[in-house]
């Protein structure tokens, strides 16, 4: 008697004998959200933590405003604002981006291990697609580059 003064066990309703409609609604919503979270729009692949840009003296002096960008890793992955793009799909993606802007310009963020052949292939594909300028990203050597990913304090 002392351990159960409110006698809550007698006031609980019995467990259901079968699945009602709410069970199927919950299962359906769970499947929907798992499908949504598996989408590339929610969990978009990004650059790895070891992604580093090359260091070039005067990199900040050559900075320019661009209309779109892409990042290339040494493994060959090309990451855009729309997700991963393969090298075979890149010319079509570049044409769509060039048509979307009056003065299209492209920023290519090529990692340290990316070969010159890959960079020049991307640059020539961008020129053929109609980009007016192609800018290669680089970090300024020295304390500014060591400040962090933002490049500043």
Task: Map tokens 């709410």 to a residue.
Answer: 22
All residues at 6 or more sequence positions from 113 whose CB lies less than 8 Å from its CB, including other chains: 73, 74
Claim: this prediction has a pTM higher than 0.85: no
Q: Tell me: the pLDDT tens digits for 37-91? A: 766 555 455 555 567 788 888 888 878 888 999 999 888 889 888 888 888 999 9
User: How far is the C-alpha of 70 from the C-alpha of 108, rounded, in Å?
Assistant: 5
Domains of the chain: 68-146 (3.30.420.270)
């Amino acid at each position: 008697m002392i351990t159960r003064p409110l006698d809550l066990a007698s006031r609980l309703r019995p467990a259901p004998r079968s699945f009602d409609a709410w069970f199927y609604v919950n299962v359906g919503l769970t499947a929907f959200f798992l499908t949504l979270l598996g989408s590339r729009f929610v969990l978009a692949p990004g650059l790895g933590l070891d992604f580093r840009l090359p260091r070039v003296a005067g990199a900040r002096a050559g900075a320019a405003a661009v209309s779109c960008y892409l990042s290339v890793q040494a493994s060959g992955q090309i990451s855009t604002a729309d997700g991963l793009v393969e090298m075979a799909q890149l010319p079509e993606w570049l044409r769509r981006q060039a048509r979307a802007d009056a003065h299209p310009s492209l920023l290519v963020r090529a990692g340290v291990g990316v070969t010159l052949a890959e960079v020049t292939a991307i640059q020539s594909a961008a020129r053929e697609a109609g980009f007016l300028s192609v800018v290669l990203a680089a970090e300024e050597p020295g304390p500014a580059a060591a400040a962090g990913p933002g490049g500043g304090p």
